[in-house]
A and B are shown apart, each in its own frame.
Chain A
């Protein structure tokens, strides 16, 4: 977000007196630009007109409640911090608000310190999000690069066989991942050694064994590329890369990697399940993995971890 956009805060309340009180309060904070909306429809219109750093919303409003507004806003702008500002003391409302993704739930009348605390919390959250984004690879650029990859254009024509291998990998990426298949679910799970050998895989798509072997090396190459680009700035243990409608999420263990090809959005529970699966797999097979030479018979129980993960995530309905 630009500095200008970071200043915009929208507050939605059908009560004129509350809007005016907020207006008075925000005059004490000239670093922020308060935009007032008198009902949820007005808020939705204003949210489309510019970017906002955060939103305050009342709950009890005519036509549409603040909770319904919250749900819509979080679907459209999942990173927008929303703080409910309400006289509703019903615990069910606060539970619903948090379930819909509210950052905080403040009771009226708020003190200026309470409001300021909520703003500072939202600023902190936005800065964290911006920091993550600036540390991450630009996925659109990467997708364009993969789609338009040419060793000649990139000056790699004289770099030997590695450029043609990489071309092959990119072609596979384009064929398998950029052109979308089914949407909204896990498509493939790959358990890989650090050197890119596929230990086990589980596929919801038609991927033959040759493809699997190539995909294993490909994932390792892509992940290495991605880690170089991202460097140490990412705080997440799971790296995510997007190709068209597909994502590949990587979990890194001490001896192996777990690559999950999916469409839609993975929730936190699914991310945790991926990491837990890798940890459980390595824990059970640590001695073998330490010196694994590619003999699959030594790790024949590995498929059960993927099956369990597949079923678990499927139940989560990502």
Chain B
């Protein structure tokens, strides 16, 4: 965002990546047992927050995860979470 200087923006993004990565690891560790509603909420949350930190890709993945959770498609969610993991690692 133009309102932040590079240093502030980097601090924000770092905090977000750290926070989201931790959440993601917890989910992936037990992905077969995590409640679908929890996965839907996770997708919904990152859909809303990703763009606030300049990560439109996260918002996009969040939208897909939320939709897949509504469709009860755990297989698709696993793939999307892996994509999210890869994306966050590239930004870390």
Given contacts A16-B19, A17-B16, A17-B20, contact A109 B3 (CB under 8 A): no
Q: Any chain A CB within 8 A of the CB of B28? A: no
Give B residues with C-beta under 8 Å from A.
Answer: 1, 3-4, 8, 12, 15-16, 19-20, 41, 44-53, 59
Q: Is the CB of B50 within 8 A of A109?
A: yes
Given contacts A17-B20, A17-B53, A109-B59, contact A86 B48 (CB under 8 A): yes
Q: Is the CB of B52 within 8 A of A108?
A: yes
Report the count of interface residues on A (CB-CB < 8 A): 20
Q: How far is the CA of A16 from the CA of B41 in the complex (A)?
A: 13
- By beta carbon, the residue of chain B nearest A110 is B52
Q: How far is the CA of A110 from the CA of B3 in the complex (A)?
A: 13
Q: Any chain B CB within 8 A of the CB of A273? A: no
- By beta carbon, the residue of chain A nearest B59 is A109
Tell me how far the C-beta of B42 lies from the nearest C-beta in chain A, rounded to whole angstroms. 10
Q: Any chain B CB within 8 A of the CB of A207? A: no
- By beta carbon, the residue of chain A nearest B55 is A109
- By beta carbon, the residue of chain A nearest B16 is A17
**Secondary structure of the A contact surface, majority rule:** loop
- By beta carbon, the residue of chain B nearest A108 is B48
Q: Any chain B CB within 8 A of the CB of A195? A: no
Q: How far is the CA of A4 from the CA of B26 in the complex (A)?
A: 42
Interface membership of chain A positions 67-109, coded 1 if the CB is closer than 8 angstroms to chain B and 0 otherwise = 0000000000000000000110000000000000000000011
Q: Is the CB of A17 within 8 A of B3?
A: no
Q: Any chain B CB within 8 A of the CB of A28? A: yes
Tell me how far the C-beta of A172 lies from the nearest C-beta in chain B, rounded to whole angstroms. 59
- By beta carbon, the residue of chain B nearest A86 is B48
Tell me how far the C-beta of B14 lies from the nearest C-beta in chain A, rounded to whole angstroms. 11
Residues of B contacting A301 in the complex (Cβ-Cβ under 8 angstroms): none
Given contacts A17-B20, A60-B44, contact A109 B12 (CB under 8 A): no
Q: Is the CB of A15 within 8 A of B45?
A: yes
Q: Is the CB of B3 within 8 A of A87?
A: no
Residues of B contacting A311 in the complex (Cβ-Cβ under 8 angstroms): none
**What 7 A-B pairs are tightest by C-beta distance, nearest first?**
A109-B51, A108-B48, A87-B48, A21-B52, A17-B49, A109-B52, A15-B45
Q: Which of B4, B12, B47 contacts A87 (CB 8 A)?
A: B47
Q: Is the CB of B49 within 8 A of A108?
A: yes
Q: Which of B16, B44, B52 has the most CB of A within 10 A?
A: B52
Supply 9 A–B pairs (Cβ within 8 Å), ascending by A.
A15-B49, A17-B19, A17-B46, A18-B49, A25-B3, A108-B48, A109-B49, A109-B51, A109-B52
Q: How far is the CA of A62 from the CA of B4 in the complex (A)?
A: 32
Tell me how far the C-beta of A111 lies from the nearest C-beta in chain B, rounded to whole angstroms. 7
Q: How far is the CA of A28 from the CA of B9 in the complex (A)?
A: 13
Q: Any chain B CB within 8 A of the CB of A112? A: yes
Q: Which of B8, B44, B48 contacts A24 (CB 8 A)?
A: B8
New A-B pairs, 15, CB < 8 Å, besides A21-B52, A109-B52, A112-B3: A14-B45, A15-B45, A15-B48, A17-B45, A17-B46, A17-B49, A18-B49, A20-B19, A28-B4, A60-B44, A87-B45, A87-B48, A108-B48, A109-B59, A111-B1
Q: Is the CB of A108 within 8 A of B3?
A: no
Q: How far is the CA of A16 from the CA of B23 in the complex (A)?
A: 11
Q: Is the CB of A60 within 8 A of B52?
A: no
Q: How far is the CA of A159 from the CA of B17 in the complex (A)?
A: 79
Q: Is the CB of A24 within 8 A of B45?
A: no
Given contacts A24-B8, A24-B12, contact A18 B1 (CB under 8 A): no
Q: How far is the CA of A18 from the CA of B58 in the complex (A)?
A: 13
Q: Is the CB of B16 within 8 A of A18?
A: no
Q: How far is the CA of A107 from the CA of B50 in the complex (A)?
A: 13
Q: How far is the CA of A58 from the CA of B49 in the complex (A)?
A: 12
Q: Is the CB of A24 within 8 A of B4?
A: yes
Q: How far is the CA of A86 from the CA of B8 in the complex (A)?
A: 24
Interface membership of chain A positions 110-123, coded 1 if the CB is closer than 8 angstroms to chain B and 0 otherwise = 11100000000000
